[in-house]
Amino acid sequence: MVYGSRQIAVNFTGRKFKIAIVIGSLVLAFLLVIFSPTFRIEEVVIHGNLHVSRADIIERLALTNTSNIFMFNTNAAHDRIMGNLYIGDVTFRRDFPNRLYVTVLERRFSAYVEHTPGNILLLDDVGRVLSVRSVMSESLPILEGLQFNRWQLGEILNVENATDFDNIVLYTQLLIAHGLIHQVTNINVSDPFNIRILVNYMEFHVGGVSDADEKVRTIAAMLEHSPDAGMLRGYVDMRVRRSEYFFRILQ
């Protein structure tokens, strides 16, 4: 009986060894396949980049000639790409065997603020400082009347009166939503009770943020029906809600 038990144990051990050999062979074959040149990333397709160059995104992906599509670390690549302040989010999609899709969501530029003579801060639509520039390369409004002592790239502009800043951010968001952000030249919040939105020499006195969306819709309609709006000098008083508004020409 003892001999028989030993024989069964030997047979069982031999069977386990064979199973291990088979599993090991399968794992090795699998690894050889996924790490073969077939699955090296050969093509990168990038969508959504308007202000961020393809070269910058490619550099932040940190790909090499042997980068494997299975082993590509999306979390690390996400963090590197998000180091560009113009980008608000990025997603990846693998297209086997060797194509990588990268979709970026850029932050929306909203306005400029003069910091010091010759230095202009570019803000996004929540008031975050994206960059410091010496020239205004995009057609965006200049924010006037804001008081601030310090700022930091990638952070919301720290102004003395946060409520005033929230109000002006709301208007920039509405101007973006209604397609007017590139027509507006200035937004003045020197008087928090009478925010002024300027299209060259044409001023819209919108007061505070009450009925802000309706006021911006009205501005859009007036500009649409005034082809020479950029040449007009005057203002529209919209501080009090009315059924119709009148443009007052300044001499």
The pTM of this model reads: 0.83
**Of 237, 248, 158, 241, residue with least CA distance to 196:** 237
* Tens digit of pLDDT at every position of the chain (251 positions): 555 566 655 565 767 766 667 576 555 544 545 557 889 999 999 999 999 999 999 999 999 999 999 999 999 999 999 999 999 999 999 999 999 999 999 999 999 999 888 899 999 999 999 999 999 999 999 999 999 988 999 999 999 888 889 999 999 999 999 999 999 999 999 998 899 999 999 999 999 999 999 999 999 999 988 767 667 789 999 999 888 888 887 75
CATH fold label, 109-249: Rossmann fold (3.40.50)
User: For the domain bounded by 37-106, which CATH number is listed?
Assistant: 3.10.20.310
pLDDT score of 34: 57
Q: Which residue pairs from 125-130 have beta carbons closer than 8 angstroms and sit at least 24 positions apart in sequence?
A: 125/169, 125/172, 125/173, 125/176, 126/156, 126/169, 127/156, 127/157, 127/165, 127/169, 128/85, 128/154, 128/155, 128/156, 128/157, 129/153, 129/154, 129/155, 129/156, 129/157, 130/85, 130/86, 130/154
pLDDT score of 204: 96
pLDDT score of 138: 92
pLDDT score of 9: 58
pLDDT score of 250: 74
Show me where the domains of the chain are located. 37-106, 109-249
Q: Rounded to an integer, what distance in angstroms lies between the CA atom of residue 226 and that of residue 217?
A: 14
